[in-house]
Structure 1
Amino acid sequence: MKPELIHNGTDGVNVMHPCFESSDLFLMFPSDPSVICILVYSVLAFLSIATICGNLLVITSVVYFKQLHTPTNYFILSLSLADLLVGVLVFPFSMALTVTSCLHQENLICKIRDVFDVSLCTSSILNLCCISIDRYYAVCQPLTYKSKITDQVALTMIIVCWGVAVMIGLSIVIGGFNQGTCEEMCSVTVILSNIMGPVLSFYLPAVVMSCIYLKIFFVAQRQVNSIQSSKSLSKVERKATKTLAIVMGVFLLFMSPYFFCVVFQPLFSDPVSIPVIETLNWLTLSNSMLNPFIYAFFYNWFRSAFKMIITGKIYQGDFGDSKLI
């Protein structure tokens, strides 16, 4: 996600980013890039490929294996789709059009990149909200869980998430970000965009998720200490809740620094430097790579599914009904 930086002139910009050099009012990729630039883009290309491959494994697993056709995994599928699109669309756009380059060449392509960036990030956190709601009913109301969180309900929640994410992404980009001091340059629209955008797309969902998982934690503790713990809260549900809470925690850890910067920076006297913004931007994007590894580490059935896909076993016959370990 990229705020629209306010910066006067091009002096010193070429030393702020290892892969661009200034030419009049434009920033250009040099014909003879530095070693640091090559190293940076090699790392980013690896992150993009890992993000695409990892999330493709998750999506293929949930779609192919019938054992994984559950509302919880449908939410995971939707989250993986958002992360996959980050790897396919946002990573290449952000490598070609960095914060630094779009600062001086603001155009339609930069706007399109920003819409993808904001929308997919918002979709990820809204899908995590859906997962937390799913876990709440699974743990806190296990007897009514299957009747309340059905496949149709899950599909409806996912569609709403994506619709809201796209609307927020378009609204924020059209309203405009400001990453700089608020003197005469900040209109009411830009100020609202800087505040309301992050509140709607990050802070509010984060607070909701945190409250839900705290509630789940306290209920789970009571159930574990009760005589009926073995009936009311299965080992599978506890593990699923713990794993998805870790996914949410990692997401918040990677996203929080950027959003803190976006909201509070206009109140400071000096704008945050471009290298810091670039680093925080890539930190948020790299989160999309981690979820498949978390699933593989905690879930035996995802590990089994990944192994069958990677070894090509699913192409040798119909294994959709296979019992995953």
Structure 2
Amino acid sequence: MMSFCHSIINISCVKSSWSNDVRASLYSLMVLIILTTLVGNLIVIISISHFKQLHTPTNWLIHSMATVDFLLACLVMPYSMVRSVEHCWYFGEVFCKIHTSTDIMLSSASILHLSFISIDRYYAVCDPLRYKARIGVLVIFMMISISWSIPALFAFGMIFLELNFKGVEELYYKHVHCMGHCAVFFSKTSGVLAFMISFYIPGFIMLCVYYRIYFIAKGHARSINDANKNPQIGLEEKNGISRSKEGKAAKTLGIVMGVFLICWCPFFVCTVMDPFLNYAIPHSLNDALIWFGYLNSTFNPMIYAFFYPWFRRALKMILFGKIFQKDSSRCKLFLESNP
């Protein structure tokens, strides 16, 4: 039997017809994703905030991204979970706009942070001698400001001014909108704009940076192999340490790029194509794909933190409560070089 989100049947959305077992499984999976995202990003935030040795420009950029991902899990995912499982929105139209705007803002901000981190790593690997002069506190502050402000202006401006469905208002209100509905709806123009700002431009930057770092690291690896025939052992060791960092940076960015594309590409491709396909893509598919996008925020702390020994040491100190000991913030997590 068909059930509805609200009592006024002729204007209400249709509720999901899943069994209680399916709903319980979906709720359990989504709660696990939310908790993992919250805990992982909270540990990154605490680690970088507490340990003075981690107070570097690069780490403040990672700290800002972890804050974005933490807020996404805290403010957006729980309401998205109810909407995804029940196919109903119970929290009112005004809060729907706030939720949708915050969702777009934080998801876009997380992606922009990834692109700026890749730029930071590019200069650290490819121009290490001038890295500190080029990427200072002011530059990092500007990156963080851009990563927050542009998505905020774009998301809240578009949703509250209803620019996302400008030109297709009649189609939206006659055939899409119903009581209990809360999903972002794009026209052709706004869909392409959202695709460019939130996905294509930051993704293209990351791809170009990774391509450049990969080939520089590959070229340096070849030069090390050639240098092995040279008896200048001391120089080899010094170069070997430097080149191993380049290789690690290339590998890490490669994983970042792969996870980013796997998580967000399906959602944004469907979003930009849907208006051109006369909105033929099922709403349930879009809803599932947004959760694949959310997973990027779950994996971010694992990629940028769990790969580094300093994070594992910080995690151990946090779990055992050692951060509450006197002068624990001055504890050395790594030798005096870039972590």
Partner of 1:129: 115
Cα distance change of structure 1 residues 183 and 113 upon mapping to structure 2, 3 Å threshold: closer
Larger RCO (CA under 8 A, 6+ residues apart): 1
Q: Pick from 175, 178, 202: which aligns with 1:205?
A: 202
Q: Pick from 219, 222, 233: which aligns with 2:216?
A: 219
- Aligned runs of 1:162-177 on 2, under 5 Å? 162-173=148-159, 174-177=161-164
User: What TM-score do you get using the length of structure 1 for normalisation?
Assistant: 0.83
Would you say 1:263 and 2:272 are equivalent positions?
yes
The whole-number CA distance in structure 1 between the counterparts of 2:246 and 2:53 is 15
The whole-number CA distance in structure 1 between the counterparts of 2:219 and 2:35 is 43
* Deviations 1:122-153, CA, capped at 9 Å, x for gaps: 10111111111111111111110111111221
SS at match of 2:330: coil
User: What TM-score do you get using the length of structure 2 for normalisation?
Assistant: 0.80
Task: Please say if residues 125 and 201 of structure 1, whose CA atoms lie closer than 8 Å, have aligned partners that are also in contact.
Answer: yes
Q: Percent identity?
A: 38
Q: Pick from 292, 311, 329: which aligns with 1:320?
A: 329
* Deviations 1:91-139, CA, capped at 9 Å, x for gaps: 112123449325x997111111111110011101111111111111111
Task: Please say if residues 69 and 106 of structure 2, whose CA atoms lie closer than 8 Å, have aligned partners that are also in contact.
Answer: yes
Task: Please say if residues 44 and 305 of structure 2, whose CA atoms lie closer than 8 Å, have aligned partners that are also in contact.
Answer: no
Following TM superposition, the consecutive aligned residue runs of length 4 or more in structure 1 with deviations greater than 3 angstroms are: 20-23, 27-30, 96-100, 174-178, 227-234
| Deviation larger for 118-127 or 106-115 | 106-115
Would you say 1:148 and 2:173 are equivalent positions?
no
Would you say 1:248 and 2:235 are equivalent positions?
no
| Deviation larger for 269-278 or 58-67 | 269-278
Higher Cα Rg: structure 1 or 2?
2
Aligned length: 303
- Aligned runs of 1:1-325 on 2, under 5 Å? 23=7, 24=9, 25-27=11-13, 34-98=20-84, 100-102=87-89, 107-173=93-159, 174-177=161-164, 185=171, 190-226=187-223, 230-231=238-239, 233-269=242-278, 271-325=280-334
The whole-number CA distance in structure 2 between the counterparts of 1:78 and 1:106 is 30
| Deviation larger for 155-164 or 82-91 | 155-164
For structure 2, the residue ranges without an aligned partner over 5 or more in a row are 174-185, 228-234, 335-339
SS at match of 2:128: coil
* Alpha-carbon offset, residue 292 of structure 1: 2.0
* Alpha-carbon offset, residue 244 of structure 1: 3.7
Cα distance change of structure 1 residues 172 and 244 upon mapping to structure 2, 3 Å threshold: farther
The whole-number CA distance in structure 2 between the counterparts of 1:212 and 1:166 is 25
- Paired residue type of 2:97: K
